[in-house]
Amino acid sequence: MSFVVAIDGPAGSGKGTITKLVGEKLGLINIDTGATFRSVTLAMLNEKIDINEEERIKKLLENIHIDLKQENGTQVVLLNGEDVTLKIRSNEVNSFVSPVSTLKIVRDNLLNLQRKMAEGKNVIMEGRDIGTTVFPNANVKIYLDATPEERARRRVKQNIEQGIDCSYEEVLASVKKRDKIDSEREIAPLKQADDAIYIDSSNMTIDEVVETICKIIKEKV
């Protein structure tokens, strides 16, 4: 038996930060499914595999091993044993991951992996299709949203803090582009599950969102 909290929403809605904090507060294992798509994307870039090369992608997926580990409260991502936690956040991966995650062969493979990762555990899993596809019977489903403008502002702030140079206009355009690919793809698009609770975090602090979600979860335990 496992208890599953599904957190879905677009890039920059605060899912990563919120999921980690809620998980820590309530003792749930945090699973970031975006990291699994990012790992496959990195492996394809490393091997110089194009998204049209189905046979090579199939072979790659057969031989790939992705592991998410919790170390001192942070998630470490291992790709074939190598720590790729930082590499999967590169600009190159950022711009290639949405197209890669439209591929059926990739989604089928990662769907199995994501379900296995939660087996027998109490988890809070974040992504785009957790409540609709990965765990349609999740105990709690949240759809966390924010306006594209607010999400772009947050990303710019984060970039500045990390010393990454960028313009608001550029970031906003890339946020909108990713939203479009993620929500218009054929398989398991980004979409609110019918029974998910909608939270717009545009005008909420992180603490307020964490409190709101913890309260919802506690009511379901």
**By the criterion CB under 6 A, which residues form the site for ligand DC?**
11, 33-34, 37-38, 97-98, 101, 127-130, 178, 182
Q: How far is the CB of 3 from ligand DC (least distance, A)?
A: 19
Q: 3-class SS at 71?
A: strand
Q: 92 vs 218, which CB is nearer to ligand DC? A: 92
Rounded least distance, CB 191 to ligand DC, Å: 11
Of 154 and 178, which has the nearer Cβ to ligand DC? Answer: 178
Report the largest interatomic distance among the alpha carbons of the chain, rounded to a whole angstrom: 48
Instruction: Return the number of the residue (141 or 178) whose C-beta is nearest ligand DC.
Output: 178
Q: How far is the CB of 144 from ligand DC (least distance, A)?
A: 11
- Residue 64 vs 218, nearer CB to ligand DC: 64
Token pair listed for 157: 């702030």
Tell me the closest approach of the beta carbon of residue 143 to ligand DC, in angstroms: 13
Q: 98 or 212, CB closer to ligand DC?
A: 98
**Smallest distance from the beta carbon of 135 to ligand DC, in angstroms?**
11
Whole-angstrom Cα distance, residue 166 to residue 35? 23
DSSP string, 136-186: TT-SEEEEEE--HHHHHHHHHHHHHHTT----HHHHHHHHHHHHHHHHH-S
Q: Cα 131 to chain center, whole Å?
A: 13
Alpha-carbon span 69 to 116, nearest angstrom? 14
Tokens representing 208?
């307020």
87: its two tokens? 């590499």
